[in-house]
Structure 1
């Protein structure tokens, strides 16, 4: 498998299929993935190892239904970063487990985070913690009310 640059992974059809299967079920056994893909277990394991080593695949996670915790508060927070501090801000935000995803973006906002908390007090605390991070210049948060 060829690579462009030191850390850029070039995906082929098997890689894309494997990543798609893992997005659907990150806990699927290698033997099941091999069966679905029509390849050997060794092929799947080699590809997994290569995707992990290159950084193209960051790990495996459990996906939880959005309605699993009906009392939970879900929100998105758009963040404007001061100057060239994006990497430092991202590293600090990664320490907050309530931020379930952090996205870089184009446009007015530099980052968009997804927030998941149990109650308004926790939500308020998370907002305050994000806003005091050095390099965070401005933010706007919207609570997600329902998925349609």
Structure 2
């Protein structure tokens, strides 16, 4: 999708000031509120804006342990296992991968004992052959998109 400077300015504002509102965005950008609304609608329709949901903190919700669990699957079981992962609340995300294993899951737990229980739940899923777990010690770079949004316009200008 082609994005111009106004699109990226709107995305920047959404990331920096998510609660400001349409009227404030229009004022800051010096454009009509309808312009901001139509741009946001297009960005959402085109899938650039994936969600307006708040970003929650699993750690603050009682799940401070974060792990990446690699799942090695039996041949031909990817879709079946992926569907079953939806039933495990502690699995926040799952990605099919090239490399170590077939899927990597971002998993949270209350403590290490609970993490072991979650891993045991995953290994028992039909189609999972084995797992490999990496426990995150600390977050060094938080999930971010602002640098990517800024780079999008710069890349087009080159």
Answer yes or no: same fold by TM over 0.5: yes
Tell me the TM-score normalised to structure 1 length. Answer: 0.64
Q: Quote the residue 1:109 is aligned against.
A: 101
Q: Matches of residues 90-105 of structure 1 in structure 2 within 5 Å?
A: 90-105=82-97
- Verify the 8 A CA contact 1:81 1:137 in the aligned structure 2: yes
**Consecutive unaligned residues in structure 1, runs of 5 or more:** 1-9
Question: RMSD of aligned C-alpha atoms?
Answer: 3.4
Q: Quote the residue 2:116 is aligned against.
A: 124
SS at match of 2:89: coil
Matched, 1:12 2:23: no
**Consecutive unaligned residues in structure 2, runs of 5 or more:** 141-158
Matched, 1:140 2:132: yes
Matched, 1:74 2:70: no
Higher share of residues assigned strand: 1
Instruction: Report the CA distance between 1:76 and its aligned residue.
Output: 0.8
- Verify the 8 A CA contact 1:30 1:41 in the aligned structure 2: yes
Measure, in 2, the Cα distance between the counterparts of 1:122 and 1:60.
Answer: 31
Aligned length, in residue pairs: 139
- Verify the 8 A CA contact 2:63 2:108 in the aligned structure 1: no
Give the direction of change, closer, same or farther, for the CA distance of 1:93–1:66 in structure 2 (3 Å limit).
Answer: closer
